[in-house]
Amino acid sequence: MVSSFYIRAIEIIKKIPEGKVATYGQIAKYAGDPRGSRQIARILHSSSEKHELPWHRVVNSNGKISFKPGCGLELQKSLLESEGVIFDKDNKVDFKKYLWKPFG
């Protein structure tokens, strides 16, 4: 079962460039469902492996990671820092520098 929202979200996520991040709400909204933030989480889970999505470039609305230390937080943080995205002391990214915009 594949909804257009799902496909669209995948396409968007795959387009996130290195050194940039996007939010769940942003992706969901741009994919056609302003409130599909939860589906984004599902998509990342079910497709990050199948579609090799840069799941680590997706953070919540605060620019923070939803994980907890030991649950992947370190991994995501590490991956992003490898791409040039720096986290502050609150494990947040600087949207002014790293927020990716679908329109450029």
Partner DNA sequence: CAACTGACGATAG
Partner DNA sequence: CCTATCGCCAGTT
Question: What SS3 class is residue 23?
Answer: strand
CA distance 20 to 98: 5
| C-beta closer to DNA: residue 19 or 47 | 47
Question: What SS3 class is residue 37?
Answer: helix
For DNA (CB under 7 A), the number of binding residues is 31
- List the one residue from 42, 74, 86, 94 that touches DNA (CB under 7 A): 42
Residue 30's Cβ-count burial label (10 Å; 0-12, 13-18, 19+) is middle
Question: Binding segment for DNA among 10-18, 54-62, 77-85, 93-101 (CB under 7 A)?
Answer: 54-62
Which residues in this chain contact DNA in the complex, by CB under 7 A?
A: 1-3, 5-6, 23-25, 33, 35-42, 44-46, 48, 55-56, 58, 60-62, 66-67, 72, 76
